[in-house]
């Protein structure tokens, strides 16, 4: 039995977790990131990742992704997770519905539409230099400009360093994208009518102002800084 995940797919899964208020303890977050950053491997044993995540008191994005992924497999005893599988998960009906179910208006200062749109993985064209950048999502008649987003260290592969096409999740640029991957994400998102309705209501989103009790951009920088030089 072999269950594996590529380095790029695992990085995208973990980087997305760093932008999200999901119930992952700091101890588990540190353990997962240390596991990833201390290795130079291009292929990881997914069972090792899951074993680390299992020590968290609540299900983590690793568990949620795993459940989504294996439900699509005829035989879940062996599998090989690739980047497109992680992209599919974060742009899926499943992820959108979980975001809706976890929405808490008491903790958010932005409109529900802005938050729920931000919680999906969107392809954006980046603007600016440095760690804090802007980005624009364009899909047919829909367009959203995102401000105050954190470009996570190493999100772009060396061969993509000149590219301006990346994926945003809750104000974090978590991976580079090829044009084909950007189109793949948009096709998934276009298939969620509720998402499109909310996108039409959110022409501009300031990622620093998603939550009432904190500056989300600074919070993301703080979490990323636990593990990497920023």
Asked, for residue 147, whether it belongs to a domain, the answer is: yes
**Hey, is 156 helix, strand or coil?**
coil
pTM equals 0.95
Residues 125 and 147 in one domain: yes
- Within the chain, strands assigned E span 3-6, 43-45, 79-81, 122-127, 132-139, 142-151, 165-169, 172-176, 204-206
Please report whether residue 230 resides in a domain: no
Task: Tell me: do 158 and 214 sit in the same domain.
Answer: yes
Residue in the block written with tokens 């603007």 = 127
> pLDDT by residue (tens digit) across 142-151?
999 999 999 9
Number of domains in the chain: 2
**73: domain range?**
3-89
Q: What is the pLDDT of residues 2-20, one digit of tens each?
A: 999 999 999 999 999 999 9
Is there a single domain that holds both residue 122 and residue 176?
yes
- When pLDDT is cut at 50, 70 and 90, the band that residue 211 belongs to is confident
User: Does 97 reside within a domain?
Assistant: no
Confidence of residue 107 (pLDDT cuts 50, 70, 90): low
In a domain, 206, yes or no: yes
Residues 110 and 81 in one domain: no
Same domain for 210 and 175: yes
How far apart, in Å, do the first and last CA atoms of the chain sit?
Answer: 39
Residue 115 domain-assigned (yes or no)? yes
């Amino acid at each position: 039995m072999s269950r594996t995940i590529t380095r790029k797919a695992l990085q995208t899964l973990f980087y997305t977790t760093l932008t999200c208020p999901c119930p992952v303890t700091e101890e588990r977050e540190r353990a997962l990131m240390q596991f990833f950053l201390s290795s130079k491997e291009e292929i990881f044993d997914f069972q090792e990742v899951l074993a680390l995540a299992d020590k968290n008191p609540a299900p983590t994005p690793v568990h949620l992704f795993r459940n989504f992924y294996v439900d699509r497999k005829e035989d879940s005893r062996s599998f090989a997770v690739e980047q497109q599988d992680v992209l599919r998960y974060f742009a899926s009906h499943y992820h959108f519905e979980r975001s809706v179910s976890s929405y808490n208006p008491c903790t958010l200062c932005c409109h529900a539409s802005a938050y729920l749109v931000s919680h999906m993985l969107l392809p954006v064209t980046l603007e600016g230099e440095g760690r804090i950048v802007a980005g624009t999502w364009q899909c047919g008649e829909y367009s959203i400009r995102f401000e105050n987003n954190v470009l996570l260290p190493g999100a772009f592969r060396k061969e993509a360093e000149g590219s301006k096409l990346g994926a945003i999740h809750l104000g974090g640029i978590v991976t580079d994208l090829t044009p084909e991957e950007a189109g793949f994400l948009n096709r998934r998102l276009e298939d969620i009518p509720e998402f499109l309705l909310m996108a039409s209501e959110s022409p501009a989103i300031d990622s620093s102002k998603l939550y009432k009790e904190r500056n989300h951009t600074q919070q993301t920088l703080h979490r990323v800084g636990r593990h990497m030089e920023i």
